[in-house]
Amino acid sequence: MGAGNTKLSKEELNDLIKKTNYTKDQIVQLSKDYYEFSSKDKKLGFSESEFMEFFFCRFRDWDKDLLKQLFKLFDSDGNGVLDFKEFVTSLYIITKAPVVEKLSLLFDLFDRDQSGHLEIEEIEKLIGVAVACGTALGMDYSGVTNYVFSICSAENMSNKNKGMNKNEFIKAASNSDKFCKMICFYDSIGQMLY
Ligand SMILES: [Ca+2]
Ligand SMILES: [Ca+2]
């Protein structure tokens, strides 16, 4: 099975490898999985429900609404399905990407009204999800809660009335990978790809 099965041109494939650090072998493996999981409805590409099923194990403590929103962010051309490139990119961001890249996407995810700021309701949602996931992953409840509150503290905002902007969020949450991990954007174990 060659890379041709990914339906990517050689340039696109090399571009993807460069961007994601997946090896060519891993990309080939991912393309097999992509075809298997995304063709359940006999149509190529991850539909929203296939995406949700595929990632259910990882994001079981997220609500459906949030997972749908994640799908939308990864569907970069907005056609309602994830093509192979969009799928690999989403997997990369969820697992292997640098913390800052993950946080940037997570900010967009929780900034539901795309105002450029996390307002109080959006922050409450973020705290709720992070605490639910973090404790489900075995982290200590008060430790998780205190950590998320410290990230979203008003002290980290230049304008408390407006909320927290992306730079402020990234700055507050990027001192370690703790936040990304607790919200389930952790890297997979060993050789596993997801
Ligand atoms: Ca798409
Ligand atoms: Ca907002």
Q: Please give the average per-residue pLDDT across 4-17, as a whole number.
A: 80
Q: How many residues does the chain have?
A: 194
Whole-model pTM: value is 0.93
Q: Are the CB atoms for 52 and 62 separated by under 8 Å?
A: no
Select the more confidently predicted residue: 42 or 129. Answer: 129
pLDDT per position as a tens digit, 18-27: 999 999 999 9
35, burial (CB in 10 Å: exposed 0-12, middle 13-18, buried 19+): middle
d(CA 83, CA 72) in angstroms, rounded, equals 13
For the stretch 76-123, pLDDT in tens is 999 999 999 999 999 999 999 999 999 999 999 999 999 999 999 999
Q: Which ligand is nearest to the CA of 77?
A: 1
Residue 3 has pLDDT above 50, yes or no: no
The CA 120 to ligand 2 mean position distance, Å, reads 9
Question: For position 6, what pLDDT does the model report?
Answer: 53
* Cα 87 to middle of ligand 1, angstroms: 9
Do the domains spanning 10-95 and 99-182 agree at the CATH topology level?
yes
CA of 69 to the centre of ligand 1 (A): 14
The model's pLDDT over 35-51, given as tens digits with 9 standing for 90+, comes to 999 988 888 899 999 99
pLDDT given at position 189:
85
- Ligand with the closest atom to the CA of 114: 2
Strand 117-118 and strand 164-165: pairing? antiparallel
Q: What is the per-residue pLDDT for 118?
A: 98
Model confidence over 56-81: pLDDT tens digits? 999 999 999 999 999 999 999 999 99
Say what the pLDDT of residue 40 is: 83
Core vs surface per residue 148-178: b (16+ CB within 10 A) or e: beebbeeebbeeeeebbbbebbbebbbeebb
Fold for 10-95, please state it: Recoverin; domain 1 (1.10.238)
Task: For the chain, give every domain's residue range.
Answer: 10-95, 99-182
- Can you tell me the distance from the alpha carbon of 177 to that of 102, in angstroms, rounded to the nearest whole number? 9
Radius of gyration of the chain (CA): 17
Assigned CATH topology for domain 99-182: Recoverin; domain 1 (1.10.238)
Chain segment 140-194, per-residue pLDDT in tens: 999 999 999 999 999 999 999 999 999 999 999 999 999 999 999 999 888 788 8
